[in-house]
Every structure is written in structure tokens, then in C-alpha cells.
Structure 1
Amino acid sequence: MISIKSILEEISKHKKILIGANLVAILSTMLTIPVPLLIPLLIDEIILGKGGTITHTIDHYLTIGSPEYYILTVLLITLFLKAISLLLNLLHIRLFTKISKEVTYVIRKQLLNHLQTVSMSEYDMLGSGAVSAKVITDVDTVDKFVASSVGEIVVELLTLISISLVILYLNWQLALVILFLNPLVMSFYLHVFRKVAKIKKKENKAIEIFQNSLTESLELYNQIRVQNREAYFLNDIDNKAKEIRDRGYQFGLKSEMALEFSRMLIMYSHDIFRSMGILMVLLGLLTIGKMLAIFAYAWIIMRPVDKLMNFM
């Protein structure tokens, strides 16, 4: 039987590619995380004249002494890190796409081999439409799950953890605010999504019934025309198509409403976050450069949170 467990077991068979993809993801995350911190800290070190790690590190390797060259050097480093990170992300996508295609091929092969052991009575009960739906549509869903969800979940989880650690280092009070509010939003979304998932199951069932009826009607269409019953069969298929429309409308509407409302809550939490950051600068508890860096991280953290919400 094909299940989530069997799919994960099949993925685990590609250990070398899997380990390589995860190492690439870790390296990409390590290169990406410092980027939003570099330019904002120059405000404290150059404009406010406080000095710091960035200018001292540049002075250790290069004798510059000019603010313009500090800015240019940091800009070039930022562009270089982003370019390397992009190449690593493309390599990561390539590796996981290779795994997903191998896994879906094995699943299709198992399904086709299983057809040899299925009795004719069981096959007639399922219908050719249901069988083709499982071999084509359902396996394509697994393909997307492995390539996108499983592939991205590692990167997004690493990004979320890394950003959380950086924000905690910069200012633990602000970090606790954003790290406390985002899980609340996620828990709300998951609660709503469990209800929406039931509607999605009904939609998938309606599609399977429609496909089965359509396939069987087309296979027997000559006999149906001879008996002048095409109007009855086409009307029956039309009713099933309307059911798909209604189920799809319910799922699309409710899922989008839940997702948009969750995103709005995230934006609210970030507004609170930014307001507290400005207040801390006013009270002298945070520098302007660190505040801008935290704001940048607060915006970047939305992507992994959003991806994790969709995955769950």
C-alpha cells in the first residue's frame, strides 16, 4: 500500500542525493542569513561613527579609510553572497527534482504491477476513470509534494531557525514578540485548514467520480448512440461536473479566506514589531542600524513561515 510512510521510505533510498541536497541547503542558508545585517550596520558604524565589526574586519584586510569604499566593499560582498546563494538554491532544486521524478516513477511502476493482481470484478467496481486518476493525477500530486514541499521544507526550516537566532542576538525582547506572534498565527491557520481539508477530500472524490463516469461513457458511446440515450448520459456527466464546480468553489473560497486572514494577522504582528523597534530606539535600547536589520529580518521571516503554513 502506498502511504506517506512508504513515500518517505522511497525518498530515503536516495541517501547520497538527499545528503548532498541538505548540505547545499545548509550552505545556502549560512550565506544568505548575514546579508540583511551588513548594510544596516554600516549606518551605526559609518554615519553615526560608532565603529564596529564590519569596518574593523575590512580594515584588517584592506587599508581604505574612506566611507565610500566601506559602502562599496559591503555592497560587493552582499551581491556576491546573494549570487552564490542563488546558484546553490538552483542546485538544491535540481537534486530534489531528480529525487521526486525517481520516486514517482517507482510509484507508477508499483501501481501498474498491482493491476496484474486485481480481479476483474474489483476493476469493474473501481472503474477505469478511478484507476487512471490514481496513476496520473494522484501521482502528480506526490511529485509536487516531494519536489516542492519536502524540498523546500528543509531550506525554510533552516532559514526560520537561523533568522530567529540572529534576531535573538540583536535584541531578545523584539525577537520574543515576533517569535511569539507568528506561532499563534500558524496555530490559527492550522485549525482552519483542517476543516478546509475535509472539503478538498470531497472535491477530489467528485473529480474521481466524474472522470470515471466520463471514461465509461466514452468507452460505450457507440452503444449509447445506438440506443439514443446520449442525452441521459451527458446530463448525468453534466451534473457531476456541476458538483465538481460547487466543491471546488467551496474549497477555493474557504482556503483563500483562511490564508489571507492568516497573512493579515502576520502583517499586524509585524506592525506591532516595528512600532516596538522604533520605541526602543527612542529609549536608547537599540541602535538605528540594528533596528533596520531586525526590520529586514522580520520581513524575510514571512516567507519561511508562509511556506511552513502551506506545507502543514
Structure 2
Amino acid sequence: MPDRLSWAEIRRLALHHRKALILANLVAVLATLCSVPIPLLLPLLVDEVLLGDGDTALQFMDRFLPASWESALGYIGLMLCMTLLLRALALVFNVLQARLFARLSKDIVYRIRIRIRLIERLKRIALAEYESLGGGTVATHLVTDLETIDKFIGETLSRFLVALLSIVGTAAILVWMHWQLALLILLFNPLVIYATVQLGKRVKHLKKLENDSTSRFTQALTETLDAIQEVRAGNRQGFFLGRLGLRAREVRDYAVASQWKTDASNRASGLLFQFGIDVFRAAAMLTVLFSDLSIGQMLAVFSYLWFMIGPVEQLLSLQYAFYAAGGALGRINQLLARADEPQYAGSRDPFAGQATVAIDVRGLQFAYQDEPVLEGLDLSIAAGEKVAVVGASGGGKSTLVQLLLGLYQPQAGQIRFGGVPLEDIGLNTVRDNVAVVLQHPALFNDTVRANLTMGRERDDERCWRALEIAQLAETIRQLPNGLDSVVGRSGVRLSGGQRQRLAVARMVLADPKVVILDEATSALDAATEYALHQGLNRFLEGRTTLIIAHRLSAVKQADRVLVFDGGRIAEEGDHQQLIAEGGLYARLYGHLQH
């Protein structure tokens, strides 16, 4: 079954913080105990201080006041000080509780993002899924959607707890003061909440549309920025940025619809609550006329009606946050449901104890959807042999590289290293021992050293030796910080040829047992390429090497040349033999550079 992230699992993650949860709940109770009595204090003085009806509260306050302060001014002043103190304490407890919930929510999101689900999941998702998703979509899941869940867990739930306790506490006091009037109030609140939930269901899908449009905009923005150099060079920034503008307009339109309709729903529910307050006011005044409810108690009831607005609105807004978080959870689960890369057991290691190994391909078939690329390919490369593969673009050369590394899976056929099927070796073992240098290598916005080592432990001496082989050492020495110089995003501070040579040095530093060079020197001038081949020949001696090339200078480094045509090997021999066969050479290699 595919991984899924559910509210039950989020709850399980939250229970890892039992102590923090218990403490947050206790703090919420203290905040409620401080805030709930506040509306009751000053209004009750109306009966005893202003109307002279009873003296229970006055006798209690006399214990804390000197005789000279036992007056209306002193009583009101003391009650005011108590009110301000309680408000201050409620604020402190609310802030502390919000802090505890913030820590809890951030750790839950961290566990989802890093330790539990998403980052681990990214390790296993098949390359084809990445190609269809795009980096912008994945980034949206890892950032925007998780922020939505984070906000729901941290901000909303912390307020929810205090709001719920405040309503319960208020209900208890109202029941104590006058149970008939309290019953009317408490019965009306569920009706308001129910009506608001129904309104919320009508607008929840709008938030999903807004988030989906934001994801599409992020994807388009990422793709445009990644290709900005080529876009500007072709003077096509108007088209691509215009297309980006259309995506932004779509985000705006959905956001406008979502925001105003959600706001209208909130205002409608607020209007219902205001209607209720008006009804309660009238009911309270009638109760004073026809029961023992005092004027001070009536004012206290009015105060609690206003006091309840905030907690009730927070409870009502919880549904919108829940809908948004539920939509984010659904999109994250779509990422988790993506197809896995095959996980082979890796029971045999043909590379262990060997300087290099042979490569054997039998009956290999692969197609992109309905377009066949390789059809029954048979290929054998002896251990230590250098083989060049040439042919027209789109002939399946680079696809073969992807298949050898297990990045794509063939529809039929088998790949063996050292006589052992790839499935028995395991992808991790293959990739630890087989290194590839691509025509357009990926470089990170980091130092030269970081781009060389790729997280491996390598000392500076080995780094410089690899750079010497790649004919890049002198260039790096001239940089301001040498190995610690930052190459920029995608290596923008290096030329195309320097990026390729840095990738070659990275391969050398990995010290693989099998090497694949896929147009690895296409951006080099003739002199630099010649020097690089001289350095590489010494390094590659005795290592099985597959060279994908369109340049005769690269083909000359091979012991044997294979001609790809129609997804199969049409011809093979050494480069001199192929040159001698002029007709075949002209048909297949007329585009090669001499």
C-alpha cells in the first residue's frame, strides 16, 4: 500500500509530546480561570455599590482594604485592579500556551517533512514521477502545504482549546446566575455553529482551487527561472513571462473568489450571532422585570454575551482552517502515492574485490509511452574495455545510460554487471560503483569542494589531484577562495566547459569501477579536450568505460565503436574501420566534428 498521511498519524506524532500537551492544557485552564470571571466583577458592583442592594462582595473586599478606603471609590478601584491583573495574567498564560503549541506543531511538521514521510519518500520516488511532477510542485508540497498544516495545528488548535474552555466556563457562570436565561443562550449557540458549518461547506472547495492554482504558478515560475538564460538569449522572455502572468491572474481570480465568499460566510455567521445578542438583551431585560435577576446581574449577562463573541468566532473559523489543512493533506498524499523506484534486495556484489567488471545487456526493450527507443538491444562490454556508442540523436544512447543506472526500468530484457543481474546487485551498489558524467552536469550553489565531494569525505590533496586530471586545477587556483569559491546557482560563475570538467573531476574523486561519459566533453575546445583525454586515459586505464559521443575526438579514445540505429546496434568496429567504410560513416556520422 502507498504511504498516506492521516489525522490519526498526526495525532500519534503529537502524543510523542505528552508532557508538553499536558502542560499546554494546564496553562489553557489557568488562562481560562483568569479570563472568565472578568465580565462578572465590575457589573456586580452595580447592585451593592450603586443600588445598595446587598453587601456580600463588599464584606469580602473589606478584608483587603483599610478602613479609610471602604467606600465606593475604594471598592471600584480594587475591583478595577483585580480586573486588570486578571487580564494581564490571562495574556501571559495565553502567550505561554501558544508558545507550547508552536513548538509542538513545528516538531510535528519537521517529523512529517524530514523524518517520517516526505524527505524519506523523495528518496524512493521513481525518476519518471519527478519528471512529470516538476520541482515547483514538489516544493509546494514540502513548503506551502506543510505550512498550512502547521498553522492549523499550532495557531488554530491552541486558540481552539482556550475558546472551548472559555465557553464552558462562561456557560457555568451563566447557569449559576440564572439557569433559564443561560439555557436560552446555550441552545442558540449550536444553531449558529451549525449554520456557519453549512455556509463553510459551500466555500471550502474555493480554497482548494486557490491552492491548486498557486501550485501551478509555482511550477511555471520555477521552470521559467531555471531556463531564464536561454529564454533571454532567444528573446522569448515576453512570451514566458506573459504565460507566467496568466498563471498569476488565475491565482488572483481564485483567491478573490475564495476570500470574499469566505469573508461573506464569516460575516453571515457573525450576523446570526449579533441577532442572538439582540434577542438575549431583550430577554434579559424581561427577566429583570418578571424574576429576581438584578440590574448588576443583567449587566454581567450582557458582558458575557460580548465576551463569548471571540471564543465562538474562533471555533467557527476552525472549520476553514480544517478545510484548508485537509486540502493540503490530500495534496501531500498525492505526492506520497507516486510510484516508487524498484527496491532490489541487493544480495550479491560483483564489484567487491574487483578493479572493474564487464557489462552485459540482453534483449533490452524500452519505450516512452508508445514510442519505442530500444528494441531488443544486445550489448557486451568486456571488463576494462572502452566502448564508444554513436548514432543519430534520439537513437537511445542516453536512454541506455539511464537504464544502466536503474533510473528507468526496461519493459523487457536484462542488464548484468560482472555477470550478476542488476536486480540481484541493488541500485545503491550499482550507483556506488558506476559513475556517469553528463553533457549538462548538475551543480549546486555551493563551493567547488562541495560540488566535487558531493558529501563524501575527501581531503584537499585528492580534490586537487582530481582537478589536475580534469584540467581544471589552474582555473580553480585563480579563483578568490580556491576550493572554497562558490560556483553560483547551477554553476553560473563557470563556463560550460569548466562545468563539464568539474563534473569530470567529481567522477574521478568518486573513484568508480565503471565509468560512463555521456557527451562529457562537448563544450570543450580542441586543445583542452585533447589534454583532458590524455589525463583521463591514465585514470580510465583498466576501468570499463562507456563513451556516448558525437565527436570523433572522443570516439578515438575507445577500443571499439558501436553504431546505434533504430534502437539497435547496426554496426561495430574500431573508429578507423568505420571511417574506411565511407558510405556508412557518411550516413551515420556526417554531423560529427572532426
Matches within 5 A, 1:81-120: 81-109=86-114, 110-120=117-127
Q: Does 1:42 align with 2:36?
A: no
Match of 1:239 in 2: 246
Percent identity for Structure 1 against Structure 2: 37
Match of 1:11 in 2: 14
Q: Does the 8 Å contact 1:193/1:255 carry over to 2?
A: yes
Q: Does the 8 Å contact 1:32/1:82 carry over to 2?
A: yes
Quote the Cα distance in structure 2 between the aligned partners of 1:89 and 1:229.
54
CA deviation map 1:184-211 (0-9, x unaligned): 2211111111121111111111111111
Q: Does 1:66 align with 2:71?
A: yes
CA deviation map 1:130-184 (0-9, x unaligned): 0111111111112211221111111110001110111122122222222222222
Q: Which moved more, 1:101-110 or 1:208-217?
A: 101-110
Q: Which moved more, 1:15-24 or 1:74-83?
A: 74-83
Matches within 5 A, 1:129-168: 129-168=136-175
Quote the Cα distance in structure 1 between the aligned partners of 2:135 and 2:231.
18
Q: Does 1:221 align with 2:224?
A: no
Q: In the alignment, residue 246 of structure 1 is paired with which amino acid?
A: D
Shift of 1:4: 2.4
Quote the Cα distance in structure 2 between the aligned partners of 1:159 and 1:244.
38
CA deviation map 1:281-309 (0-9, x unaligned): 23343100000001000000011100000
Quote the Cα distance in structure 1 between the aligned partners of 2:28 and 2:255.
36
Could you say what secondary structure the match of 2:124 adopts?
A: coil
Match of 1:209 in 2: 216
Q: Which moved more, 1:160-169 or 1:279-288?
A: 279-288
Match of 1:77 in 2: 82
Shift of 1:52: 4.2
Shift of 1:60: 5.1
Q: Does 1:275 align with 2:310?
A: no
CA deviation map 1:209-239 (0-9, x unaligned): 1111221222233344455544443333222
Q: Which moved more, 1:228-237 or 1:35-44?
A: 228-237
Shift of 1:80: 2.0
CA deviation map 1:74-93 (0-9, x unaligned): 22222222222222112112
Q: In the alignment, residue 176 of structure 1 is paired with which amino acid?
A: L
Quote the Cα distance in structure 2 between the aligned partners of 1:163 and 1:90.
21
Quote the Cα distance in structure 1 between the aligned partners of 2:22 and 2:266.
33
Could you say what secondary structure the match of 1:49 adopts?
A: coil
Match of 2:272 in 1: 265
Shift of 1:115: 1.2
If the length of structure 1 is used for normalisation, what is the TM-score? 0.93
Out of 292, 295, 298, the position equivalent to 1:288 is 295
> Per residue, is there more strand in 1 or in 2?
2
Quote the Cα distance in structure 2 between the aligned partners of 1:120 and 1:19.
44
Quote the Cα distance in structure 2 between the aligned partners of 1:280 and 1:131.
61
Quote the Cα distance in structure 2 between the aligned partners of 1:195 and 1:160.
27
Match of 1:31 in 2: 34
- Count of residue correspondences: 312
Match of 2:400 in 1: none
Match of 1:178 in 2: 185
CA deviation map 1:26-85 (0-9, x unaligned): 011112211211111111122222224322323456564533322222222222222222
Q: In the alignment, residue 3 of structure 1 is paired with which amino acid?
A: S
Out of 172, 192, 196, the position equivalent to 2:199 is 192
Could you say what secondary structure the match of 1:285 adopts?
A: coil
Q: Does the 8 Å contact 1:38/1:54 carry over to 2?
A: no
Q: Does 1:51 align with 2:54?
A: yes
Quote the Cα distance in structure 1 between the aligned partners of 2:242 and 2:91.
52
Shift of 1:262: 1.1
Q: In the alignment, residue 317 of structure 2 is paired with which amino acid?
A: N
Q: In the alignment, residue 10 of structure 1 is paired with which amino acid?
A: L
Quote the Cα distance in structure 2 between the aligned partners of 1:187 and 1:146.
23
Q: In the alignment, residue 34 of structure 1 is paired with which amino acid?
A: P
Distance change (3 Å), C-alpha of 1:224 and 1:66: closer
Distance change (3 Å), C-alpha of 1:77 and 1:231: closer
Quote the Cα distance in structure 1 between the aligned partners of 2:241 and 2:85.
61
Q: Does the 8 Å contact 1:185/1:265 carry over to 2?
A: yes
Higher relative contact order (CA 8 A, sep 6+): 1
Q: Which moved more, 1:18-27 or 1:88-97?
A: 88-97
Quote the Cα distance in structure 2 between the aligned partners of 1:25 and 1:105.
25
Distance change (3 Å), C-alpha of 1:61 and 1:246: closer
Unmatched tracts of structure 1, length 5 or more: none
Quote the Cα distance in structure 2 between the aligned partners of 1:73 and 1:241.
58
Q: In the alignment, residue 279 of structure 1 is paired with which amino acid?
A: L
Shift of 1:14: 0.8
- Alignment RMSD: 1.9
Unmatched tracts of structure 2, length 5 or more: 320-594
Quote the Cα distance in structure 2 between the aligned partners of 1:135 and 1:239.
24
